[in-house]
Amino acid sequence: MHARRSLAATATAALLLTTAAAGTAAASPAPDSPAPASAEAPGRYLVAGPDTAEERTEIAATGAAVDEVNEDSVVVTAAPGQADAVAGLGHEVTPLPGPGQDGPGALDFPPSDSDYHDYAELTDVVDKTVADHPDIAAKVSVGSSHEGRDLMAVKITSDVATDHDRPEVLFTHSQHAREHLTVEMAVYLLGMLTDDYGTDPRVTEMVDTREIWILPNLNPDGAEHDISDGSYKSWRKNRQPNQGSWSVGTDLNRNWDYNWGCCGGSSSSPSSQTYRGASPESAPEVRQVADFVRSRVVGGEQQITAAIDFHTYGELILWPYGYTYDETGPGMSRDEYDTHAELGRLMAGSNGYTPQQSSDLYITDGTINDWLWGEQRIFNYTFEMYPSSHWGGGFYPGDEIIPRETSRNREAVLDLLGYADCPYRVIDKEDEYC
């Protein structure tokens, strides 16, 4: 998830290599060298006790990633040392079982979860969608991942070859590698917005009056790594090496260039699941998606007016800001906050998620949620999809829930599209702002 239910799993403890020369400067490990045997692999833990956003923020400050927030407990992914630090805050920490596997040697999802789409299968879906609907769907590349995989985008609108003066809406998926259900959400949206065009009046109206951008996987390297040997790794970050450290990866959703690293809502340690990277947009995936969003500024005006970033899990709808507990303040007026909140509540009315400000969970910084609003003035939301808790499958619910849990967001997505021409209409202030 973005701030709460998503985290990276496997990150090894940081180990600095030093040269034997005078001055002992830190050096990067050889790219193909294995991690040292002493490296501590992270695990998942139930932490009993914390019941306020401030307490949850203290837990996140240890470098643990908060996956799930309950009334008086959280679930975290943490290295053993980080789990000890959480216990040192006075909370009861209990290890949880790890994700399952169907056996060694597999190079894909376990057979029991074969309905999930890996990167090659997702590419086939995108290519077929575009081939079957050439008048309303077009494939665009916004860049490539650290390992060279295409960061695909699909533009959906009538007369798709034309750059219309229409409100644009952005849907992003899979910033965090282990959140595979979000890719299925993208697959569902691709089908809904193309196959239902011409037969469903509401879908048809939205495709005729909006330009819709679907980026189905922002972290393909991490997602492929998470399923690479038939055993889910609970991997969160991308696969970019970190200079001077055995720990691999940056948390993409702490790497955005708005209040990056400002407020204790991310970690400076490469071994942390919430490592924010060496600098804002240091992750190539973040930099190139941000460049794409910036490219939609035409004549000084951002054409994208609304967005959803899909994550798992928790069944939540979150809106900015995450970096502060305040509802209003720098960059957020009362009407802007009320518009976010009212539209969030409207969407929650159809999918049954809990609507709230992001920082009601705990403080985060450098997130796409805050960047889209703070830098680009795009009304936007994080959707934390099914399940509501670790006990419902956590990051790895069985593939049988895919149709139910993706279609569950149909009305919410159509609501966002419907208000994209003037989000302030949801608080009856279109005459003032639109």
Domain of 272, CATH number, reads 3.40.630.10
User: What integer pLDDT is reported at residue 359 of this predicted model?
Assistant: 96
Residue 351 lies in a domain: yes
What is the total residue count of the chain?
434
DSSP string, 114-136: TTS--HHHHHHHHHHHHHH-TTT
Residue 361 lies in a domain: yes
User: What integer pLDDT is reported at residue 13 of this predicted model?
Assistant: 30
Q: Are 369 and 252 in contact (CB under 8 A)?
A: no
3-state helix, strand, coil in the chain (%, to 5): 30, 20, 50
DSSP 8-state assignment for residue 139? E
User: What integer pLDDT is reported at residue 100 of this predicted model?
Assistant: 53
User: What integer pLDDT is reported at residue 57 of this predicted model?
Assistant: 85
Q: Are 325 and 363 in contact (CB under 8 A)?
A: yes
**Domain tally, the chain:** 1
Q: Are 187 and 171 in contact (CB under 8 A)?
A: no
Residue 357: phi, psi to the nearest 5?
A: -70, 145
Task: Kindly list the averaged pLDDT for each block of 10 residues, start to end, along the chain of length 434.
Answer: 35 29 35 43 85 89 89 86 88 78 58 94 98 98 98 98 96 98 98 98 98 98 92 94 95 98 96 97 98 97 98 98 95 98 98 98 97 98 96 94 98 98 98 96
Residue 167 lies in a domain: yes
User: What integer pLDDT is reported at residue 231 of this predicted model?
Assistant: 78
265 contacts: CB under 8 Å, gap ≥ 6: 3, 57, 60, 254, 322, 323, 362, 363, 364, 365, 366, 367
pTM for this model (two decimals): 0.87
Catalytic residue among 58, 68, 179, 384: 384
Residue 231: phi, psi to the nearest 5?
A: -130, 115
- Rounded to whole angstroms, the Cα distance separating 179 from 384 reads 10
Residue 30 lies in a domain: no
User: What integer pLDDT is reported at residue 98 of this predicted model?
Assistant: 67
Distances (CA, A) of 432 to 7, 143, 340: 41, 38, 16
Residue 27 lies in a domain: no
384 among known catalytic residues: yes
Q: Are 138 and 196 in contact (CB under 8 A)?
A: no
Whose tokens are 């709230």? That residue is: 356
Q: Which domain holds residue 260?
A: 111-433
Residue 424 lies in a domain: yes
Residue 128 lies in a domain: yes
Residue 74 lies in a domain: no
